């Protein structure tokens, strides 16, 4: 079965991007994938510091996050936009999980050969689009194939129902279809 790890680059209570990734995850599940949704708040990590790594190795939560990445075939990531880029918490988690943990471990083992679908929600008019450009570049450079389709939700404060669904049915379908596309591509790639 195709296994997908779904998470948002926000730890804020009431995060629009966590709502968004849940919609995409439902689309992936409907297409037959096994989806694990996590909250990066449950994996607090210190800022990446090579001296800390040299002295103590990977922090325990970085190891747990990296293990989750390794155990899944693909990723659904919803990224807020902070100052025209990805959040610090998302970049930090990606950076820690990119580090070699054991001798003879292949470089970027948590990422190489994985497939990702990305989306964003933002209060601004571009819907987090600038962050997705950076996220696509970061993931591509560490060996992740990023689907060409992506969805950005602008005016996020007004975009969601209290239930967590998007008010615009067309956007709701687009986000669910993103998860479905990831699940379907992973099915084609698996032997």
Q: What is the pLDDT of residues 5-33, one digit of tens each?
A: 999 999 999 999 999 999 999 999 999 99
Q: What is the pLDDT of residues 74-103, one digit of tens each?
A: 999 999 999 999 999 999 999 999 999 998
Instruction: Label residue 190 by pLDDT band (50, 70, 90).
Output: confident
Q: What is the pLDDT of residues 100-143, one digit of tens each?
A: 999 899 999 999 999 999 999 999 998 999 999 999 999 999 99
What are the structural domains, with CATH classification, of the chain?
A: 3-189 (3.40.50.360)
The secondary structure of the chain, three-state, reads CCEEEEEECCCCCCCHHHHHHHHHHHHHHHCCCEEEECCHHHCCCCCCCHHHHHHHCCCHHHHHHHHHHHHCCEEEEECCCECCECCHHHHHHHHHHCCCCCCCCCCCCCCCCCEEEEEEECCCCCCCHHHHHHHHHHHHHCCCEEEEEEEEECCHHHHECCCCCECCHHHHHHHHHHHHHHHHHHHHHCC
């Amino acid at each position: 079965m195709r296994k997908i790890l779904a998470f948002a680059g926000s730890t804020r209570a009431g995060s629009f991007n966590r709502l968004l990734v849940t919609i995409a995850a439902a689309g992936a599940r409907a297409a037959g994938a096994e989806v694990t949704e996590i909250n990066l708040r449950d994996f607090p990590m210190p800022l990446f510091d090579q001296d800390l790594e040299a002295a103590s190795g990977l922090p325990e939560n970085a190891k747990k996050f990296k293990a989750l990445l390794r155990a899944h075939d693909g990723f659904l990531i919803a990224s807020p936009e902070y100052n025209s880029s990805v959040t610090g918490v998302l970049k930090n988690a990606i950076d820690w999980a990119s580090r070699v943990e054991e001798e003879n471990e292949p470089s970027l083992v948590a990422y190489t050969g994985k497939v990702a679908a990305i989306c964003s929600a933002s209060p601004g008019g571009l819907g987090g689009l600038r962050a997705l450009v950076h996220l696509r570049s970061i993931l591509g450079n560490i060996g992740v194939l990023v689907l060409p389709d992506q969805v950005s939700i602008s005016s996020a404060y007004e975009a969601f129902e209290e239930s967590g669904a998007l008010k615009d049915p067309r956007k709701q379908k687009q986000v669910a279809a993103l998860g479905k596309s990831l699940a379907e591509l992973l099915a084609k790639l698996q032997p």
